[in-house]
A and B are shown apart, each in its own frame.
Chain A
Amino acid sequence: MRSFKALSWDGRPCPSSSGVGVLARHSRERKDKVDPMEALLYLGCTVPVRNLNYESSARLTARSLGITLHDHEKFGCCGFPLKSLKAEDTLVVAARNLALAENEGMEICALCNACAGTLTETAHVLDHHPDVKERVNTRLASVGLRYEGPVRVRHFMRLLWEEVGVEAIRESITRPLTDVVLAPHYGCHYLKPSELTAGFDSPDVPKTLAELISVTGAEAVDYPSLKDCCGGGVLGMSEEVANAMARKKLEDVSRTRAHALVLVCPFCNVMYEGQQKKIAKEAGLDLKVPVVYYPQVLGLALGISSKDLGFKLNRVKPKELLDIVEG
């Protein structure tokens, strides 16, 4: 384990991992000195297998905006799927990933709302409850790891919002998405529970995604079911209930002028893109709502090609959108 070296995407060794991972754990100064525009990219289970368009576009846009994302080849599942079985197992599995990040002295940047939520929650619980932390660390010892904390976890979007900022993004836009209309979907764990997301965005009046859409030059539309839950959390238990939950938003968005629904979570994608055909068929509706990931949209505005942004992997082609942007 100690011989592990984190590599940045283009294969350069990451600065804090040249054999000093062990040191980093004990050295506060070291952690504070790390460039805030550097983070460990946390892919989770779904994105690197099913959403290569999200992963590619996140990496490309991060790079073009000056965020250096490093890979950690030992990251695995965040532990969210275990929470219904045994909440402490989730803490242990999440803490394993946090401890790996801590050894590198870097914060975590997650692409999935559920991963970001689970890792943030775990760090919060362990940092505030020394007894739980000790229990978790006793179990982590079996794999040679320990979590001292704190380790910071942020969603990719939060990194864009807080570290790059809307103004700096505006200055980097080379191909404004004029005439493009987009419908944002935040997703539950992006906004809630507010005890964890406080200071970032509001669950009642969310704005970060809409503003990050607007800065690309596109128009962000509002619609009645903006804050609806996608139903992804229920899909494994009842497809009927999950589909019924996702349907309203797809119908609402198809009635707006939006060229696509914009997501930031692979769970939401399973419902709105993966289940869309089935939902439409069951309801006897003619739904063809293109579903895209935010970094794909941002990437277009930064001048990156639709090919590199993985648009060929989007199931309902955002043809009109791409015609407007790339002609």
Chain B
Amino acid sequence: MSRTKLNDLDPDFKNRVASQPGGEGIKACFACKACTAACPVEAVDKRYDPRKIIRMALLGMKSEVLGSDFIWLCSSCYGCSEVCPQNVRFTEVMFAIKNLAVAEACVPPGLTVQKELLKRHGRLYEVTEFENDKRAKQGLPPITEHPEDYAALLG
């Protein structure tokens, strides 16, 4: 990673995170690292470090945070939130950060595909006659798709 120049920093970034729903707790972090110790993703991939993400965000390293691949690795297991002595609710902070990344057009393709599926089928997996036949064979009632509501709600 190239060194961050001071004037690349965005001092307002932490406020933007804090103003997102779920992001409110970020400024309460006192860097104790309990979240990192509890994180199952960090345990298998050191690039992902909750405390480091918070430090970077608090320092204003906006483009490094929003443009990074690793913010998408959170499994939303709530392990960090449970152990945090400051009630930062880091799982929710991560959602706030990801929402900001999406607003800045830094979004992994897989996620937008899911939204399109919801608008088209109202569910992640299409239910065709094939699926309903399989269900009938198992004695289960058919599933009806209601994409119209999802399309209307998700614009």
| Complex partner residue of B44 from A48, A193, A241, CB under 8 angstroms | A241
Stretch of A73-81, A177-185, A318-326 that contacts chain B: A73-81
Proximity bits, A58-86, B CB within 8 Å = 1, else 0? 01000000000001011011000111111
The answer to whether A104 has its CB under 8 Å from any CB of chain B is no
What residues on B are CB-neighbors of A193 within 8 Å? 78, 81-82, 89, 91
Most B C-beta atoms less than 10 A away, residue of A76, A236, A244, A310: A76
- B2 cross-chain contacts in A, Cβ below 8 A: none
Given contacts A45-B123, A232-B75, A245-B75, contact A77 B108 (CB under 8 A): no
Instruction: Say whether A140 faces chain B, with CB atoms less than 8 Å apart.
Output: yes
User: Which B residues, 46 to 96, have Cβ-Cβ distances below 8 Å to chain A?
Assistant: 48, 72-79, 81-82, 89, 91, 95-96
Q: Is the CB of B107 closer than 8 A to any CB of chain A?
A: yes
- A-B residue pair count with CB separations less than 8 angstroms: 157
Asked whether, in the complex, the Cβ of A88 is within 8 Å of the Cβ of B82, the reply is no
Q: Which residues between 81 and 114 of chain A lie within 8 Å of chain B, taking CB atoms?
A: 81-89, 92-93, 96
B82 neighbours in A (Cβ, 8 Å):
192-194, 203
Chain B nearest CB: distance from A130 CB in Å? 14
B122 CB contacts on chain A under 8 angstroms: 76-77
Report if A81-B140 is in contact (Cβ < 8 Å); known contacts: A93-B154, A237-B110, A245-B75: no
A35→B87 CA distance, assembly (Å): 38
Task: State whether A229 touches B79 (Cβ < 8 A).
Answer: yes
What residues on A are CB-neighbors of B134 within 8 Å?
52
* CA gap between A229 and B150 in the complex, in Å: 30
Known: A244-B45, A245-B41. A87 touches B74 (CB 8 A): no
- Taking CB atoms, residues of chain A closer than 8 Å to B45 are 238, 241, 244
What residues on B are CB-neighbors of A74 within 8 Å? 144, 146, 149
Instruction: Evaluate contact between B149 and A96: CB separation under 8 angstroms.
Output: yes
* In contact, A85 and B107 (Cβ under 8 angstroms): yes
Interface string of B102-126 (1 = CB under 8 A from A): 1000011011101100100011110
Q: A56: which B residues are within 8 A, CB to CB?
A: 138-140
Q: A228 touching B40 by the CB < 8 A rule?
A: yes
Docked CA distance A224–B91 (Å): 24
The number of residues on chain B lying at the interface, defined by a beta carbon within 8 Å of a beta carbon of chain A, is 56
| B128-148, CB < 8 A from A | 131, 134-135, 138-141, 143-146, 148
Cβ-defined partner of B22 (8 Å) among A82, A87, A238, A241: A87
- Distance between A44 CB and nearest chain B CB, rounded to angstroms: 8
With contact pairs A49-B125, A188-B79, A241-B73 given, residues A143 and B149 touching in the complex (Cβ less than 8 Å): yes
Please indicate the chain A residues that have their CB under 8 angstroms from the CB of B152 in the complex: 142-143
Q: A76-B123, A188-B77 are in contact. Are A85 and B102 (CB under 8 A)?
A: yes
B127 within 8 Å of A (CB atoms)? yes
Bound-state CA distance A244–B74 (Å) is: 14
Across the interface, do B81 and A234 meet the contact criterion of CB distance under 8 Å? no
Does B98 sit within 8 A of A, measured CB to CB? yes
Q: Find out whether the CB atom of B108 lies under 8 angstroms from the CB atom of A237.
A: yes
Measured between beta carbons, the chain A residues less than 8 angstroms from B21 are: 87-88, 132
Q: Cβ of B6 < 8 Å from any Cβ of A?
A: no
Measured CA separation A50–B115 after assembly (Å):
20
A213–B21 CA distance with the chains assembled, in angstroms:
39
A83 partner residues in chain B, CB cutoff 8 A: 76, 95
A306 at the interface (CB under 8 A from B): no
Contacts of B108 in A (CB 8 A): 237
Please list the 10 inter-chain residue pairs (A to B) with the smallest Cβ-Cβ separation, ordered nearest first.
A233-B75, A192-B78, A76-B122, A45-B124, A244-B44, A229-B77, A188-B77, A229-B40, A45-B123, A81-B114
Q: B residues within 8 Å of A by Cβ?
A: 20-22, 40-41, 43-45, 48, 72-79, 81-82, 89, 91, 95-96, 98-99, 102, 107-108, 110-112, 114-115, 118, 122-125, 127, 131, 134-135, 138-141, 143-146, 148-150, 152-154
